[in-house]
Structure 1
Amino acid sequence: MGTGGQVEIQGIKSWLVKQALKGVAGGVRGGASTFIRLGDRFLDAGAKTALRNNSGRIADVIEDVANLPDIATHRVRSEVYKGLKGFLGDGTANVIANAVEGVMWILL
């Protein structure tokens, strides 16, 4: 396959990741209960509380990551973590970033 085909495939993958992240953000913004159900195995009690109390801010971070150019699956967790750690702290931000990545893969 030539370079043009590879670029097209990368574009499709990036688009799919963006759509999945927008779905995750919507689930979080809607009160987080859907996201918590899907990501339950990734979340501890503190992360669930943070999601319920900060759903809008967390959804904003996820949408910001979805809007990054050429976002790839391997960057999702680290970008979400960077966006969350300032207001959630390292531990909770890490747990939620892992859950976002896990739920994203469920949607993909």
Structure 2
Amino acid sequence: MADIADGAAKPGLSTPIDWPTKPYLGVKAMMVPLSASMRVDNLNDNLLLALRRDDATGDMQPVSIPKGAYLRLSDFVNEYDFADYQYPPTDKFRDFHKFGRTIEGYPELAR
């Protein structure tokens, strides 16, 4: 609340900001790729819970989104999904891939 009160006193919420030289005055924001999300809330220390609109059907769907990555692996086609993909020994994304696929309901795709 203190950050919001402090930010409200600065340009950006009620007065124009100096774009493009100082675009982030006021309350600090973090850009995240959560397209079609209608509502977002904390689920726990690791996940956000979002209510988003399905692009193909227009239906609303609840989804979990990992904090830090702010994306769902199942929303993208990536090299991890190819049947012949082999993780390099030092691949730093392997654990995230297993976590992401499991929380999205596709544990069989996390190799």
Verify same fold: TM over 0.5.
no
Higher strand share: 2
Structure ranking higher in helix proportion: 1
Calculate the TM-score normalised by the size of structure 1.
0.25
Give the TM-score normalised by the residue count of structure 2: 0.25
Between 1 and 2, higher relative CO (CA 8 Å, sep ≥ 6) is seen in 1
